[in-house]
Structure 1
Amino acid sequence: MERQFNTAGPSIPGDHYLLDPLHRIDLDEVLSLIEAKRYFVLHAPRQTGKTTALLALMEYLNRQGRYRTLYANIETAQAARGNVAEGMAAIVRALASAARHYWQDEAAAQMALELLGTVGVNDWVRTLLERWSQMNPTRPTVLLLDEVDALVGDTLISLLRQIRAGYTQRPAAFPQTVVLCGVRDVRDYRIHSGGGEIITGGSAFNIKAESLRLGNFSEDETRALWLQHTEATGQTFDPAIWPELWEDTRGQPWLVNALGHECTWKDKELRKNRTEPVTLERYKAARERLIQSRATHLDQLTDKLREPRVHAVMAAILAADDRDADALLDQVPLDDLQYVEDLGLIQSRPQWKIANRIYREVIPRELTYTTQTRITHEQAWYVRAQDRRLDIPKLLSAFQQFFRENVDAWLERFQYKEAGPQLLLQAFLQRIVNGGGRISREYGLGRRRTDLLLEWPLDEAQGFLGPVQRVVLELKILYKSLEATIKEGLEQTAAYAEQCGAQEAHLIVFDRRPDISWDDKIFHRSETVGTRTLGVWGM
């Protein structure tokens, strides 16, 4: 069977292309923590390789023979929420199943199940771990608990406190090391107890020694994973793909694998004929299919954007006006910035920005998806019959009128009102471009703008393999005088158009001042920068 890029569940050697998971977690550091009898946290965004790493660690430690290591996924206890009896029963059953499967120890599994039905549900896990540790005194127990932060309320509080209660008995009568694994660091647990109080993970689990974060692939690792496909099948990749792949993913493991899967498996022609190389244009087509698929991983981004802690950070980054961004970020606690970075949504260096190019595509599409479906303008209205080019002046003129008539009502529907004008334009453009062209987006704090590159194929039969219309749209919020904003914006627009090889470029200035009439806000004129003629649109 041909190996594949993995997009669901732990990676399996022999079935999937795979980087050494023990190398990714810094095995030397992990072994030092275990040797020192430390309890610690391993956290990373979803579908980053945490489970694969934990399973590999369990196998390695058990093979060495010094420790008796067990991996258990306790996510099933999430359904219990604040019902401690149900939650503890789910955890005990998960531990019993793990002992039966990984240790092949029926006695240990039965020992766990015999606790169910006894009194003292808030002591079941502690009692079980104590008994297990005493079963084999020459090989201290190491416990790897996955999906801990999926637990809710008093169930999570009880688990953390039971582990803390047994801590002083290690290693003779409690695990030498317990590793808590999940998306969030334990310090970011916000646990609502049954009594209504909020308990932080740090206070419930103050025995944590370290928090290790499983990072993304490096640029070299990203390329190395894809080249495993070439080694296995002989199918080559155009070298021009590598910088695109890195900017699109920044090494986010699920994205790297998902794009590889789209290119080598979902593309039926490439799957059937491994002698045909993966070209840059085929790669770009695969990227667009992935974005439009709204795959589970990408769909989960939308769910995260609803969290208040995430909203405050993302609103600042999506705002094109540097002053708005700085003011919004000044109100955000540093812990929240770190939390959103830990979720994998943003990066802090060299500046705060959305973590990778695909997330920059997906996030505004998801934030405006409902808006797109309600916009009645049709693609055919703006495609010129004689050459199949998009009539950008006609499109932007129509948006001016649409914006004037609808902005107040539409912006009220946006969760991210701070970036409302930019998002509304993007929703309008996406409505027109969907099913034919593509839009690339760039934002970042300190740049005082949002850059859009619209690409539209001029030959339907050839698609992006044929001639392509490229248009740059530079979005700016008016934050000083109109002429100063336009002067700065024209230089930025011309530079970005040159960088992208765009034949056409437009600067769009949103005037959010409430005391200015619409007749003064709405305008269109042309300006020349060097050899380029640029459109300037006021809204």
Structure 2
Amino acid sequence: MEKQFNTAGPSIPGDHYLLDPLTRVDLAEIESLIEAKRYFVLHAPRQTGKTTALLALMQHLNAQGRYRCAYANIEGAQAARGDVRAGISAACHAIARSIEDSTGERALYEWYRREGEAIDPRDRLTALLRHWSQMDGKRPAVLLLDEVDALVGDTLISLLRQIRAGYAQRPMAFPQTVVLCGVRDVRDYRIHSGDGEIITGGSAFNIKAASIRLGNFSEEETRALWLQHTEATGQRFDEAIWPELWEDTRGQPWLVNALGHECTWQDKELRKNRSLPVTLERYKAARERLIQSRATHLDQLTDKLREPRVHRVIAAILAADDREADALHEHVPLDDLQYVEDLGLIQSRPQWRIANRIYREVIPRELTYTTQTRITHEQTWYVRPQDRRLDLDKLLAAFQQFFRENADAWIERFQYKEAGPQLLLQAFLQRIVNGGGRISREYGLGRRRTDLFLEWPLDEAQGFLGPVQRVVLELKILHKSLEATIEEGLTQTAAYAEQCGAQEAHLIVFDRRPGISWDDKIFHRSATVGARTIGVWGM
């Protein structure tokens, strides 16, 4: 059977292209922590290979013969929420069964069903782990506990405190090491107890010795994973794909695998004929399909945007205006920045930015998805029949009127009001180009602008393999005088158009000053920078 790129669940060596999971963690550090009888945290964003790494670590430790290591996923206890009796019962059942599966120690599960289930839930997990640890006087127990942060309320508090309660008895009467695994570091747990008290994970589990984060693939690892497909099938990848793949994913494991799957499996022509190479345009088409699919991973990503801590950080990035971003920055705790970075949504170096190019596409699309569905403008209104080019002057003039009529009411609907004007334009453009063209986005703090790069194929039959209309749109919030903002914007627009190889360029200036009439805000003129003519639009 031909291997595939994996997009769901742990990777299986015989079924999936796979990098050695133990090379993605500092194995020497982990072994040192276990040797020193430490309890620690291993965390990573969803679908980054965390479970695959944990299973490989379990197999590695058991093969050494020094420890009895078990992996247990306790996500099922989430359904109990704050019900300690039901939650701890579900967690203990999962742990006892998983220890049997991992180590073959069936006697523990039999003991648990016979005696353990009768123990008070507030002490049941401690008793279970104590009994397991005492079953073998020679080999200490090591427990890898996955999806811990899926639990909520008093169930999570009880679990953490019961593990802490047995800590002093390790290794003879409690596991030598317990590794808490989840999306978040334990310090980021904000647990609402049944009596309304908010308890942090750090206070409920103050025995943590270290926090290890499973990172993304490196650029070399990203390429090496894809080249496993070439080695297995002979199908080649265009060399021009590699820099695009890196910028699109920045090594985010699910994205790397999902794009590989789209290129080599979902593209039926390439799947049927492995002698055909994966070209850059086929890759770009696969990328667009992935973005439009709203896959579970991308859906979970946008769900995080509703969290207040995430909102504070992402809003600062999307605002793309120094004054607003600086004001937001004053109210963004460093812990929030670290939390959002731990979730894999942003990179903090060299500056705050959304983590990769695909996330930069998905986030504004998702934030404006409902808005797009309510915009009545149609693609055909703006496509010139004689040459199938998008009429950007007509389109932007229409948006000016749309913005004048709708901005105040529609921007209030956005969760991210700080970036409302830019998001509304992006929603309008996305509505027009959906199913035909592509929009790439760049934005970040300190740049006072949002860059949009629109690509529109002029031959429907050839698509992006044929001639393409390329347009740059530079979005700026008025922050100085109008003329100073335009002067700065024209230089930036011309440079970005040159970088993208765009034939057309437009600068759009949003005037958000109170008390300015719409007649003064709305204008259209042209300006020349070098040999390039740039349209300038006031909103």
Shorter chain as denominator, the TM-score bin is over 0.9
Aligned to 1:405: 405
Distance 1:318 1:310 in 2: 12
Q: Determine if the alignment matches structure 1 residue 279 to structure 2 residue 307.
A: no
Aligned to 2:537: 537
SS at match of 2:118: coil
Equivalent residues of 2:116, 2:128 under 8 A apart: no
Letter in 1 for 2:190: R
Letter in 2 for 1:252: Q
Aligned to 1:475: 475
1:291-312 Cα shifts (integer Å, max 9, x gaps): 0000000001111000000000
Unmatched tracts of structure 1, length 5 or more: none
Q: Determine if the alignment matches structure 1 residue 316 to structure 2 residue 316.
A: yes
SS at match of 1:144: strand
How many residues align structurally? Answer: 539
Equivalent residues of 2:317, 2:444 under 8 A apart: yes
How far has the Cα of 1:112 moved from its partner? Answer: 2.4
How far has the Cα of 1:484 moved from its partner? Answer: 0.4
SS at match of 1:336: helix
Aligned to 2:203: 203
Equivalent residues of 1:453, 1:473 under 8 A apart: yes
How far has the Cα of 1:89 moved from its partner? Answer: 0.8
How far has the Cα of 1:95 moved from its partner? Answer: 1.1
Equivalent residues of 1:459, 1:467 under 8 A apart: yes
Distance 1:371 1:115 in 2: 57
Distance 2:218 2:450 in 1: 27
Distance 1:241 1:113 in 2: 55
Query: Please, what is the CA RMSD of the aligned residues?
Result: 0.7
Aligned pairs for 1:361-372 (under 5 A) are 361-372=361-372
1:293-344 Cα shifts (integer Å, max 9, x gaps): 0000000111100000000000000012122112111210000000000000
Aligned pairs for 1:510-525 (under 5 A) are 510-525=510-525
Equivalent residues of 2:506, 2:535 under 8 A apart: yes
Equivalent residues of 2:69, 2:102 under 8 A apart: no
Q: Determine if the alignment matches structure 1 residue 15 to structure 2 residue 22.
A: no
How far has the Cα of 1:96 moved from its partner? Answer: 2.1
SS at match of 2:90: helix
Letter in 1 for 2:275: T
Moved over 2 A (4+): 112-117
How far has the Cα of 1:105 moved from its partner? Answer: 2.1
Aligned to 2:376: 376
Aligned to 2:57: 57
Equivalent residues of 1:21, 1:52 under 8 A apart: yes
Equivalent residues of 1:115, 1:124 under 8 A apart: no
Letter in 1 for 2:24: R
Equivalent residues of 2:250, 2:356 under 8 A apart: yes
Aligned to 2:305: 305
Aligned to 2:141: 141
Equivalent residues of 2:117, 2:124 under 8 A apart: no
Aligned to 2:450: 450
Equivalent residues of 1:95, 1:112 under 8 A apart: no
How far has the Cα of 1:116 moved from its partner? Answer: 5.1
Equivalent residues of 1:92, 1:113 under 8 A apart: no
Aligned to 1:390: 390
Distance 2:320 2:132 in 1: 57
How far has the Cα of 1:115 moved from its partner? Answer: 4.2
How far has the Cα of 1:99 moved from its partner? Answer: 2.1
Aligned to 2:214: 214
For normalisation by structure 2, the TM-score amounts to 0.99
Distance 2:115 2:293 in 1: 46
Q: Determine if the alignment matches structure 1 residue 426 to structure 2 residue 419.
A: no
Distance 2:306 2:368 in 1: 13
How far has the Cα of 1:514 moved from its partner? Answer: 1.2
Aligned to 1:28: 28
Distance 1:422 1:320 in 2: 9
1:438-462 Cα shifts (integer Å, max 9, x gaps): 1000011111100000000000000
Unmatched tracts of structure 2, length 5 or more: none
Distance 1:326 1:65 in 2: 55
Aligned to 1:114: 114
Q: Determine if the alignment matches structure 1 residue 348 to structure 2 residue 348.
A: yes
Letter in 1 for 2:524: H
Aligned to 1:104: 104
Aligned to 2:46: 46
1:207-235 Cα shifts (integer Å, max 9, x gaps): 00000000000000000000000011110
How far has the Cα of 1:268 moved from its partner? Answer: 0.4
Aligned pairs for 1:64-83 (under 5 A) are 64-83=64-83
Q: Percent identity?
A: 83
Letter in 2 for 1:149: D
SS at match of 2:217: coil
How far has the Cα of 1:113 moved from its partner? Answer: 2.5
Equivalent residues of 1:347, 1:353 under 8 A apart: yes
